[in-house]
Structures are given as C-alpha cells and as structure tokens.
Structure 1
Amino acid sequence: MTDKKPAPKNKGSFLPNLILAGVSALFTLIFLELGARAYLFHFATDDDFTTFASLKQLEKASRQGKVGGDPQISHHRYLGYTLTPNYEDDENRHNSLGYRGEEIIQPKPEGEFRIVCIGGSTTYTTRVDDYRLSYPDLLEKELQERGYTNVNVVNAGVPGWESWNFLIDFELRTLDLDPDMIIVYSGYNDFKPRVVEPESYKGDNSGRAAPMIERVYMPGWLEYSTLYRIVAILSGWMEPHTSYNTINSSPKSYLADEFHDQLEDGTYPTDEFEEMTVQEILQANPPIYYQRNIENIVAIAQSRNIKVMLATMALFSQRPDIDQRAGSPEYQFAIAEHNQVLKNIAQRRNVSLLDFAATFPRQEQYYDDGVHVTEAGSRLKAQMFANFIVEQSLVPKE
C-alpha cells in the first residue's frame, strides 16, 4: 500500500481569492455605510443626529426642516462662531437673529427701553435649560414687576466668547438693535487667551484662536464617511463637527486646554509647565487686551449715548472638587485682575459698576459649578442686577 501524496496547492487561486476577499470587504463597507446613513437620517434621535452628522448633512437636514438639523453654534465669518438662529431644543431656543430667547421686534418700538446683556455662557446662562429662566429674561420680569413696563432685555450671551468676540459683535450686530443700555458681565473666558506662549500673546488673539475655515470643507477624506464618524466619535478619536472644541480650534501656542486637562488629572504642573508655570505665564501676559476690548465697547456705547453697566465676575472656589478651574489659584488670580480692570474702566469712564463678585453669596445652592449659576442662582442674580439698576436710576419709568 503506497502513501498518497497531498494534492498540490493551486498557486494560481491566491490572487483571485484575494480579489474576491477585497471585493467582499468593499461591498460590506458600502452596506455598512448605507446602513449608517439610513440610521442617521431615519432612526437617530435629534441629539444623536446632531452629534454624528457632518456639517454638510446638518445643512441638508436644516433645509429639509428636520428637527435636530441645526447645531447650537454655527460658523461666522467675522465672529468665528455664533448662536445658530432659530435653534430649538426642548425648552431652549434662539430667535431668528441668533440670540437666546423670544423674537426681537425690529425696528425698536417707540417708547421701549432696550437693554442688551453682553457676555459668555454666564450671560447665556448655560446649565439653566429653559431660556425663560436665564438671568436676562428674569431681569426683564423683575424690572417690569417693579413698574418698568417699557423695558425689554435681550440675552446676547454666547458660550465660550471672549472680549474680542464681544467687541466685534457689539459693532456688527448689537448696535443694530438700537440699545438704550448694555450690561457687560465677563472675565472668565478671557483667562484662556492669556495662557499662551508669551511670544504669541498678541492683540489679534492669534495665539489663542486659529482660523475656523478648515472644518467647513472637511479636509480629512475619512470624515465624509458617516460610518467612520460614528465609530470615531464613539471611540473618542474625534470630536463631533458641532462640538465647541471642533469649531473653536486653537494653534499650538495655546496652552490653556493642557492646563485644564492636568488640573482634572491632578498632574499639574507637567510637560509644558515645568519651565514656566501658568501663574508665571499670566504675569507675563497681563490683561491689556481684555482692558482694551472692554474699554472700546464702553467708548463706542458712550459715543452713541448708550448707558453702560459693568459687573464683576463671581467665582465659587470653595469646592475645587466641583470645578477644578474655579478652585485653582491661577483662575482666581486672573479673574481678580479682570475684575479690577472693570473697576478701573468704570472709574475712568464714569459708568456704573456692580461689584457682583463682592456681593453674590458663595453658597452651593446658587452654583452649578464654579462659575455657572443654577436656576436659584439665576433668579438671585436677576434680582441683584434689578436692585442695582433701580438704585442707580439707570432705567426711566414709562
């Protein structure tokens, strides 16, 4: 009995098998891609759609009137980004002009005294979901209940905005509202522009903010794939196209995000801050541009007979476990400097200043974190602002 030799392998079958495997994989990916797109447009929740959709898909959905088709913030040619007009999400909304709240009648009705509140997320009143409970809306109710029935208060706050944004927006949009008075409550976000490499600390804020054009055109070819975006976002490889970090991009000279990460990890100071601490960076980059920007807003307002009210920024630093930033000596140092800038401007320009930082109670019930208020805090803030406005006779009765 002889042993049978195994049949020789067909060497010529390798290439066809490889091609077949490649074609199968390609069709599988195409099938999964089509499935991902079908899920996104027909089965995803509004929140998931806004999270996973590309900017082009969001634009398409918005044209079709799909709920959730509009992100909360959108690119803007001169402001970098701004609030998306006509945005709605449960109890939150933006009007057609891109301000949080109800529609604004334009031109301003005769006899109306219009107040515009300028600031970042603390004016927008982030962490309070109902726009009707934001501090500007509650301020309007407070004043009207006290007999100032001709008052209309506009919430012009935009989360993440710095004094550069305030200045540009004031000139390009706020003045078109024909305000009789403005309230400026800011200072927290201007910590970030100062935490840059000192040689990059410049008046145009180029050390902090990068051009925001690249994301509009989606340079990464993989980002055209809905399947890839969903997997990458879920895996933490990339941010949603609508996220603040994606739209508000920064150059390498910007160091504040690394500082924030190290605060959260409990590793500060490491890496970039071993040779120069954040405290030393702040001292090397004094708030000269914050002062310039706010003072220019005040000067423009005064040139148009618009009343000005400034308010210092309050921090809840007693609980670092709630907010490491507000509890850090670096933030406390910077915000104290910014508050002093506001006091100096008020004195030089002879405008009203509410020392909110010195009077707002440091009680946990009023703070959602170290700087944003709760609903109770929003109500108290509105009451305190209304008290000051009445005491200073800043608003005439009808």
Structure 2
Amino acid sequence: MKSPKLWLGLLTILMLSLGLWFIEWSAKGMMTPTHETGRRILLGEEDQYLTRLQNTIGQPYLLYISAPNYTHPRHGPQHNADGYRGKLTPMEKRDGVLRIVCLGGSTTYGWSVDRPEQAYPAQLEKLLRANLPADYTDVEVINGGLPWGTSAEILTHYHFKYHYYQPDVVVINSGGNDANGYTYPYYHPDNSNWRQPMRNLRPLPEGWRWMARSRFTSYIILNVFYRDLIAGGQFHIDGGAIPHAPWFRINGELVAEPREIPLERLSFAHNIETLIHELQRDDVKTLLVPFRAAPGAYERQEKHFELAQILRHEEILKDFSMRYSTGFAPFPAEVVSPGNWTDHCHLNAPGEREKAEHIAHYVLTLL
C-alpha cells in the first residue's frame, strides 16, 4: 500500500500539471497573430523581423522597407521577396517592356485595400497593358509605396534601390506625410524631430530560446521587454521631440513651435528637387502627382496649418514641373467618387481604380 506522502506528492504533481496546462491554454487564447509571429521570431523560426506598422523592417539608409514575403493572416501574400508590395519584378529589365516605378507613401502602397492587385499601381499596370504605347510589348509597374513614407524615403529608396531597376517612368505621389511632420515642434530637415531608427524584434540567444517554447512565457517576454516592437510604429515619435543633435536653427533659434519654413530650407522641396535631378541624369521620365486629401478631411482648426502645407507642396510640385519640364498630373478630389474615400486620404478598391485611370492618362501623355 502506497504511503500518504507518496499520494500527496502525486496529487501535487497532478495539480501543478493541471495548473500549468490551464495557464498555457489561457495564454494561447491571449496570443494575437502578432504575438504568435513574435514568438516564432524569439525561437529563431521566423525571418520576418516584426514591426507593427504594416509589417515593415528597418534598413540602413532606407530607414525601413516593407517586410519581404509578408503574408497577411486573412488577406494572403502582400509583399514579395524584394521588399515591396505586389508581384516580384526581376531587377533586369526585358527588351521592349515599359517599366514604371510608383513612389509615395501609404496612398501609393494602398493602405485601405486588402490585396496588392487592388492598389493603384497594379491597376495602372492593367490599364496600360490594355492600351500599350507604340514600341512597347508589355508593361511592368512596381509599387514602391511605403506607409508613412516622406520625401526623404522617396529620395533614398530611389537612389539606393529603384535606380537599379532602370525604370522608364517614375511617378511621385507625395506631400501628405511631410506636411504632418511640420506639425511637430523643433522642425529639422532630416526629420530627426519626429523619426528615429527602426528596431526589429530579434531571436533570443540560443541558450534562452527554450523560454519561448511556452506561450505563457512568450507572452510575458513580448509584453514586458518588447512591447514597443509589437504595439507601435516605433520609428515615429508621437508628438515629436528635441533631436539628439539640434543643429537646425533659423537666425540662431530652434524652430520650437510649428510654423511655415522658408522654401530654401524646406526638406520637401530639397528632396524632391534632388530626386528630379537624379531622374533626369538617369534619363527617366518623371510624373509629379500631388497628395490629395478627402473633401472636408482637414476642417478642424488644428488641421488648418497641415492642410496649408499640403497645398503648398502641390504648388511646389507644379513649379518644379514647369521649371524642369516634368509631367504633372493635377489630382482634384473630384477624380474619386465620394463613397470611395475610406478616411482622410485613403481609398477603397474602386477609388484606387479611379486614381489609376486618372494617372494613366498623364502617363500616356508623358510617353
């Protein structure tokens, strides 16, 4: 007959096992798809180094890119292996193919549509293929849109990446995110007053990865030590901050409060003008498309300054188009049907189609 102590020990082990099983079962219910991806990263089983904002990863010089091979849990594949949205286009261009690169922020990326083929660059490709200009046998349109992308990312992404794809045409649709940046205090042309290097979630050291085998311990690790990496677009400093190196001064003073910056010191103008010069050296045709806000989107008093800067950017693009003989596509809000706006600037799939149809006309004119 077994002793009472042995029975007590077995009962204790059983209760502990049941308790651990219950804790692990509860943790499984708390783990979101983001947490599950984070757990696989901690284990070293996932090369998609997670950040929250549209599943992007940090990169030297580019600041960040769309995470290669990202697949949305419900909507399927979003990014290709080369780190941009949509199907993969080989870097080497085929003879007779018209290649277009679309650069911009989330309104180029297609923030509000579920699938890459619904975004305006993919729809532009379909429209142009059905109406190919003479001397071309096919068309390829690359979606170089980047959520939260400013003119700084547009410039660096072309210089360090898309230049090598040898596009025939580059469509630049920008102006909204830069304007948002001006609303933060301590304006700096390098965006250091509201941007910071992007950090990615990395695997645990090999000797500690066993801890991530448990969803319970994974949940604690992710939420205690890596919460900023799974819950916020951490390259964006909410509310702005004094840069670590506050070098930009006008008449010896930091720009402590948001105000209009002189044109010669405006980062948007400098970045876009520099890119136009590079595109022209590369013998690439350029189409400038201003950022467009939905009707009534900036009616609140605190948004009036931001809207004024968006409209200023539009005038700058228009001036550049005349000065450097680039294409310019006016983009009035009436191009998009009222019901096809999903928020202050993004579109649903039919709205993306309307935008593509509008831009296609100017691309064909440019060619």
Q: Which among 89, 93, 98 is matched to residue 83 of structure 2?
A: 98
Aligned position for 2:8 = none
Aligned position for 2:190 = 204
SS at match of 1:61: coil
Aligned position for 1:336 = 311
Q: Is this contact kept in 2: 1:196–1:207, CA < 8 A?
A: yes
Find the structure with the greater CA-based Rg.
1
Q: Which among 331, 351, 354 is matched to residue 377 of structure 1?
A: 351
| Corresponding position: 1:282 with 2:262 | no
Q: Is this contact kept in 1: 2:41–2:203, CA < 8 A?
A: no
> Following the alignment from structure 2 to structure 1, what is the Cα–Cα distance between the partners of residues 46 and 300?
38
| Corresponding position: 1:77 with 2:60 | yes
Aligned position for 2:158 = 170
SS at match of 1:62: coil
Deviation at 1:134, TM superposition (A): 0.7
> Following the alignment from structure 1 to structure 2, what is the Cα–Cα distance between the partners of residues 334 and 211?
25
Q: Is this contact kept in 1: 2:42–2:202, CA < 8 A?
A: no
State the TM-score, normalizing by the size of structure 1.
0.70
Structure 1 runs of 4+ with >4 Å offset: 30-34, 213-218, 229-233, 284-287
> Following the alignment from structure 2 to structure 1, what is the Cα–Cα distance between the partners of residues 231 and 125?
31
> Following the alignment from structure 1 to structure 2, what is the Cα–Cα distance between the partners of residues 51 and 364?
37
Number of residues of Structure 1 aligned to a counterpart in Structure 2: 321
- Give matches, 1:141-160, under 5 Å: 141-148=126-133, 149-160=137-148
Aligned amino acid, residue 245 of structure 1: G
Deviation at 1:290, TM superposition (A): 0.5
| Corresponding position: 1:108 with 2:93 | yes
| Corresponding position: 1:50 with 2:39 | no
> Following the alignment from structure 1 to structure 2, what is the Cα–Cα distance between the partners of residues 299 and 230?
45
Q: Is this contact kept in 2: 1:50–1:58, CA < 8 A?
A: no
> Following the alignment from structure 1 to structure 2, what is the Cα–Cα distance between the partners of residues 34 and 168?
47
Aligned position for 2:24 = 35
Q: Which among 41, 61, 70 is matched to residue 87 of structure 1?
A: 70
- Cα 1:243–1:103 change in 2 (3 A) is farther
State the TM-score, normalizing by the size of structure 2.
0.75
Deviation at 1:359, TM superposition (A): 5.4
Deviation at 1:32, TM superposition (A): 8.4
Aligned amino acid, residue 174 of structure 1: Y
Deviation at 1:84, TM superposition (A): 0.8
SS at match of 2:46: helix
Question: For each residue in 1:4-34, what CA deviation from the matched residue of structure 2 results, as whole angstroms up to 9, or x when unmatched?
Answer: xxxxxxxxxxxxxxxxxxxxxxx99x95898
Query: Which structure's relative contact order is higher, taking Cα pairs within 8 Å and 6+ residues apart?
Result: 2
Q: Is this contact kept in 2: 1:314–1:360, CA < 8 A?
A: no
Deviation at 1:112, TM superposition (A): 1.0
Once the two structures are aligned, what percentage of the paired residues are identical? 25
Deviation at 1:75, TM superposition (A): 1.6
Q: Which among 237, 240, 255 is matched to residue 250 of structure 1?
A: 237
> Following the alignment from structure 1 to structure 2, what is the Cα–Cα distance between the partners of residues 81 and 193?
17
